[in-house]
Amino acid sequence: MALVRHWRNGAAPLKPSQLRAFEELKQSDHDLFSYLDSLPGYIELDSHIVVHAGLRPGIDPEHQSLDDLVELRTLGPDRTSRDGKPWYEEYEGIKTALFGDWPSAIPRRGQYAIGLDTGCVYGYQLTAYIIEENRFVTVDAKTEYANPNGRSRASN
């Protein structure tokens, strides 16, 4: 989302790794930013809903703010804070939410939510969830692409 916001108006600050990705995408022959901008904020499956980051409990998906869908971690005024009650501990949606954007050594779990971010970008693991089997699959990251402070570690 940060890349698209930066593309729209140049005002969104980017981390060094994001700036490098932005420049690479900008040089593409395809209009990738328009494509990224056209993507939905969430995807509904039969039994699950997929979001980048979070869902505010008690609010239907179509009424969620895009900022919450791509940034929400805890409930309260600061959606990106790691202090406070995690949204997924309060979420009681009809569909199980699959989310990322909050790295953890093992998948985060709520009664109706599963966090799949196991820190691949930081050199840990990439985790997938097979809905039909209620099973996780993990692979080790090839390299450390960035560290939590935003400094890029990937080599070209």
Q: Concatenate the DSSP letters of all residues of 27-61 into one string.
A: TSSS-HHHHHHHS-SEEE-SSEEEESS---TTS-G
- The residue ranking higher by pLDDT, 41 or 18, is 41
| Domain edges within the chain | 1-39, 41-147
- The residue ranking higher by pLDDT, 30 or 34, is 34
- The residue ranking higher by pLDDT, 150 or 42, is 42
- Structure tokens given for 86: 């995690």
Q: Using CA atoms, how far apart are residues 63 and 53, in angstroms rounded to an integer?
A: 15
Q: How many CB atoms within 10 Å of residue 84? A: 12
Beta-strand runs (E) in the chain: 42-44, 48-51, 96-99, 108-110, 113-115, 125-130, 135-140
Quick one: pLDDT band at residue 153, thresholds 50, 70, 90? very low
Fold of 41-147: Purple Acid Phosphatase; chain A, domain 2 (3.60.21)
Instruction: Calculate the alpha carbon distances from 67 to 32, 79, 91 in Å.
Output: 21, 8, 17
Strand order across the 42-44 sheet? 42-44, 48-51, 96-99, 113-115, 108-110
Can you name the residues that pair with 44 across neighbouring β-strands? 49
Quick one: pLDDT band at residue 49, thresholds 50, 70, 90? very high
Mean pLDDT across 84-109? 95
- Rg value, the chain, Cα: 16
**Is residue 152's pLDDT more than 50?**
no
